[in-house]
């Protein structure tokens, strides 16, 4: 079976600048794959490229396939059909995904009816069931409430319900818990984990936070300067990072207490090359006593 998401030497440029630079990656069905990297490393650009959501200024090279179908070059209608149906995306700020003036239940029901020929009553029943599944108490009574009647964590749950409305095989979550406090963050991550177990959804989880990665990701890729430096099973990568940059991240985030820790901002003058050079000279010094 083809991979839920496969990237082949993906490049995304904005003018002369490469935001994503030669990324190749195959997701395994049913896994949560984390992409971790500091701000500006190209994580959102990669995610948006996969969903066909890049601005017109972006130039894409290489290939992106979802369930074996090439996405690069697809027209707007085909992309719209793909989004929500085969792949769905959630963002850091749930309010940006919800219409503030519209009952949340109707927004979920509308997502269903955009892709399925179902009647209003059936869509409403399914929306209420989805609200229950993501942990909104008394979902039937809350169906007609507008977004500001919910807490930030509940709003993100509602966005997740809408994203899952049509059983997409791939869910891309770009910093889905960054705006939430630590306790709520853990609950939303547990929800994502439970949903992928129940539905077999493959999840690409983007974060700058190694604590998030260690909580739910099966595998992780470390991104820096548009490149995927290193990919591994989460526990292996934390225990035995092979790349100097990954070691620098981990050194600043003790693996013994990764929860809630954040990636340090690596100073701009710390290029990957300079990190490797510094490591090499430290090793050489150690070798020569």
Ligand X SMILES: Nc1ncnc2c1ncn2[C@@H]1O[C@H](COP(=O)(O)OP(=O)(O)O)[C@@H](O)[C@H]1O
- List interacting residues with ligand X (CB under 6 A): 14, 19, 37, 39-45, 55, 57
Q: How far is the CB of 75 from ligand X (least distance, A)?
A: 21
- CB-nearer residue toward ligand X: 40 or 62: 40
Q: Which of residues 138-197 bind Mg ion (CB under 5 A)?
A: none
Nearest partner of 271 among 209, 226, 206, judged by Cα: 226
- CB-nearer residue toward ligand X: 85 or 178: 178
Q: Which residue is nearest to Mg ion (CB)?
A: 44
- CB-nearer residue toward ligand X: 169 or 246: 246
From the list Mg ion, ligand X, none, partner contacted by residue 84 (C-beta under 5 to 8 A by kind):
none
- CB-nearer residue toward ligand X: 150 or 224: 224
Q: How far is the CB of 67 from ligand X (least distance, A)?
A: 24
Please work out the total of residues on this chain that contact Mg ion, with binding judged by CB under 5 A.
Answer: 2
Q: How far is the CB of 32 from Mg ion (least distance, A)?
A: 18
Q: Is 44 in the site for Mg ion (CB under 5 A)?
A: yes
DSSP strand pairing (32-36 vs 219-224)? parallel
SS3 assignment for the chain: CCCCCEEEEEEEEECCEEEEEEEEEECCCCCEEEEECCCCCCHHHHHHHHCCCCCCCEEEEEEEEECCEECCCCCHHHHHHHHHHCEEEECCCHHHHCCCCCCHHHHHHHHHHHHCCCCHHHHHHHHHHHHHHCCCCCHHHHCCCCHHHCCHHHHHHHHHHHHCCCCCCEEEEECCCCCCCHHHHHHHHHHHHHHHHHHCCEEEEEECCHHHHHHHCCEEEEEECCEEEEEEEHHHHHHCCCCHHHHHHHHHCCCCCCCCCCCCCCCCCCCHHHHHHHHHHHHHHHHCC
- CB-nearer residue toward ligand X: 131 or 228: 228
Q: How far is the CB of 61 from ligand X (least distance, A)?
A: 15
From the list Mg ion, ligand X, none, partner contacted by residue 102 (C-beta under 5 to 8 A by kind):
none
Q: How far is the CB of 226 from ligand X (least distance, A)?
A: 7
- CB-nearer residue toward Mg ion: 44 or 246: 44
From the list ligand X, Mg ion, none, partner contacted by residue 173 (C-beta under 5 to 8 A by kind):
none
Nearest partner of 38 among 280, 274, 206, judged by Cα: 206
Q: How far is the CB of 172 from ligand X (least distance, A)?
A: 12
Q: How far is the CB of 81 from ligand X (least distance, A)?
A: 24
- CB-nearer residue toward ligand X: 71 or 165: 71
The span from the first CA to the last CA of the chain, in angstroms, equals 54
Q: Is 6 in the site for Mg ion (CB under 5 A)?
A: no
- Applying CB under 5 A, the residues found at the interface with Mg ion are 43-44
């Amino acid at each position: 079976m083809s991979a839920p998401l496969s990237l082949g030497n993906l490049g995304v440029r904005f003018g002369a600048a490469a935001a994503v630079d030669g990324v190749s990656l195959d997701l395994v069905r049913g896994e949560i794959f984390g992409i971790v990297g500091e701000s500006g490393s190209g994580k959102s650009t990669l995610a948006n490229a996969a969903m066909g959501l890049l601005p017109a200024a972006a130039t894409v090279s290489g290939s992106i396939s979802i369930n074996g179908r090439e996405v690069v070059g697809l027209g707007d209608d085909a992309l719209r059909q793909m989004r929500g149906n085969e792949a769905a995306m959630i963002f850091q700020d749930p309010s940006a995904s919800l219409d503030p003036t519209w009952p949340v239940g109707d927004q979920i029901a509308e997502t269903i009816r955009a892709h399925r020929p179902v009647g209003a009553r059936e869509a409403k029943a399914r929306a209420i069931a989805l609200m229950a599944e993501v942990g909104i108490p008394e979902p039937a009574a809350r169906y007609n409430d507008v977004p500001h009647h919910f807490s930030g964590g509940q709003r993100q749950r509602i966005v997740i319900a809408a994203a899952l409305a049509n059983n997409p095989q791939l869910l891309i979550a770009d910093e889905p818990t960054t705006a939430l406090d630590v306790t709520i963050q853990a609950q939303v991550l547990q929800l994502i984990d439970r949903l992928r177990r129940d539905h077999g959804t493959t999840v690409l989880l983007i974060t700058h936070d190694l604590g998030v990665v260690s909580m739910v990701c099966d595998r992780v890729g470390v991104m820096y300067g548009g490149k995927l430096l290193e990919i591994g099973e989460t526990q292996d990568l934390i225990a035995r990072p092979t790349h100097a940059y990954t070691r620098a991240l981990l050194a600043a985030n003790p693996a013994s207490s990764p929860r809630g820790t954040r990636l340090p901002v690596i100073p701009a003058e710390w290029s990957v090359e300079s990190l490797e050079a510094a490591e090499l000279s430290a090793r050489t010094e150690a070798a020569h006593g």
